[in-house]
Structure 1
């Protein structure tokens, strides 16, 4: 294996000079740098990352911790984050928590041990606060994606939960729906809270009082949608909702499956719309009306924010980027039956 001593001998310089060239020290003359770099290429030398980290205190490793790699929304975030990391000369470590705070804690501990330069994080819930505080204590930069932990401020990038929810509800109201159910995620999540707030406010502005019987909270990884939908459609005919808004693509697809099992026709008997596009599920796409969030851009720009923090630490104040969604109207929404 080629070492810096081999490089130094061939280039007729000291090993310290080779080390400084590798770590891009400004103290090296341009002619010396070019000579050493030429020898590095000739010998096909690959720097030892652990050795470099001892002198530069950088590993060029960054991490992305997401709650569900099987969800195409988070897969697209990962693609954007990886593309930006590689573009800026960093390598990405991916962690999948399954919305489990204990698993998330294990990942955070492992990443700190690995010496990552920074973490891009989709928190699993309020319990994430204790994990994130460990990053703060170790002075490891981190950026929130999609969700935040308000009590531990940091840079963040997310979709516009308030405006997107308004768009979806207004779309249903414009079609004539007044009995609209909302199947949302766990109330401990910041994006869920914003969507709940916007749902209620949009109905009230339209003169519709939110019905507690139509408001459902579920876990994103839970598999009880047959029960949830059966309960909604079992309401008396005059009280049954005519439309369902789902808080993410998996809830939307599982809602369609449950309605199919119950032989409820969509959209004739029940309109369905959701956040995010289930673009890898051909049976239901392009059937669902969706608000498509720019997941790739969230990962790409989130990684840019993170690496800016790693490299400069500035600015002192936290930055918040909110990206708009695209409403895509398909055949799962229509006018309610008379």
Structure 2
């Protein structure tokens, strides 16, 4: 294995000079720098990243912790984050909490052990606060994505959940629907709370009464057992003519539940959701959605994180909050009742 001492001997310089060339530190003439790099290439030298990180106090590693890697929103978000990390010279590690506070806690331990330079995190929910406080205690910069956590101030990239949900309800009302239910995520998740508020606001603006019986709350992740959702739907009276799903995963689970009962969308019941179904939705356009800018979530969040890491002075500046609007995309999942 080639070492810096081998490079130094062949280039006729000190090992310290080779180290400075590798880490781009200290004052070295351009002629010497070029000579050392040429020798490194000739000898196929690969720098020891662990040793280099000790010198620079940086690992050039970042961590992306999301809640559901199977969700097309987070898949596209991850691509944006990875592209921005690579552009800035960082490598990216991934973690998937599955909406679990316990699993998220394990990843926080991994993050601290790996000594990454920063973390981009979509928190599992409000109970994530101690995990974020742990990162701050250990001086690990982080940026939140998609969800706020009460009690912590930090940089964050959010979608306009309230307005997006309101648009979905308004679209249904314009199509003649008056009995509109909602299948939503847990109230311990900020985006679920905002989407519920948008749903309620959309009803109010259309002079429709909010009926708490028309709300079913569960996890934003996959629903392994549809029994509770089926029981909720079965007792609704009158039966809704449309359902707003809080995200794309819940839209698919709702569709499964309806098909299991022989209910067709949109012939028998209309269905809309927050978040699109990813790049394959255009191949078979079906669901009307409030689509978020998933790629921009990841890309912009990563840019903010890199800025916090690289510019020490930014720690004294106000925290940044970016809110990205959702786009209403109308497809075939809503039946026109007022024609």
Q: When the two structures are superposed, what TM-score results if normalisation uses the length of structure 1?
A: 0.94
Check conservation: 1:230, 1:262, Cα contact below 8 A.
Answer: no
Q: Does 1:119 align with 2:125?
A: no
> In 2, distance between residues paired with 1:283 and 1:21?
50
Q: When the two structures are superposed, what TM-score results if normalisation uses the length of structure 2?
A: 0.94
How many Å apart are 1:44 and its aligned residue?
Answer: 1.8
Structure 1: which 5+ runs fail to align?
none
Show CA shifts across 1:287-337 (max 9, x none).
111111111111111111111111113432111111122221111112238
Change (3 A) 1:262 1:211: same
> In 1, distance between residues paired with 2:261 and 2:21?
68
Check conservation: 2:183, 2:216, Cα contact below 8 A.
Answer: yes
Please give the secondary structure, in 2, of the residue aligned with 1:195: helix
Please give the secondary structure, in 2, of the residue aligned with 1:334: coil
Check conservation: 1:268, 1:337, Cα contact below 8 A.
Answer: no
Please give the secondary structure, in 2, of the residue aligned with 1:173: helix
Check conservation: 2:214, 2:236, Cα contact below 8 A.
Answer: no
> In 2, distance between residues paired with 1:230 and 1:286?
30
1:73 — aligned with what?
73
1:335 — aligned with what?
336
Change (3 A) 1:214 1:314: farther
1:213 — aligned with what?
213
143-152 or 283-292, which moves further after superposition? 283-292
93-102 or 218-227, which moves further after superposition? 218-227
> In 1, distance between residues paired with 2:224 and 2:299?
31
Check conservation: 2:220, 2:250, Cα contact below 8 A.
Answer: yes
Please give the secondary structure, in 1, of the residue aligned with 2:62: strand
Check conservation: 1:268, 1:335, Cα contact below 8 A.
Answer: no
Aligned pairs, number: 336
Please give the secondary structure, in 2, of the residue aligned with 1:127: helix
1:16 — aligned with what?
16
Show CA shifts across 1:21-56 (max 9, x none).
111115222222222222222222111111011110
184-193 or 36-45, which moves further after superposition? 36-45
> In 1, distance between residues paired with 2:328 and 2:338?
23
Show CA shifts across 1:178-228 (max 9, x none).
211111101011111111112112211221111111111111233343541
Change (3 A) 1:199 1:313: farther
Query: RMSD in angstroms over aligned alpha carbons?
Result: 1.9
2:47 — aligned with what?
47
1:325 — aligned with what?
326
Structure 2: which 5+ runs fail to align?
none
How many Å apart are 1:264 and its aligned residue?
Answer: 1.6
1:37 — aligned with what?
37
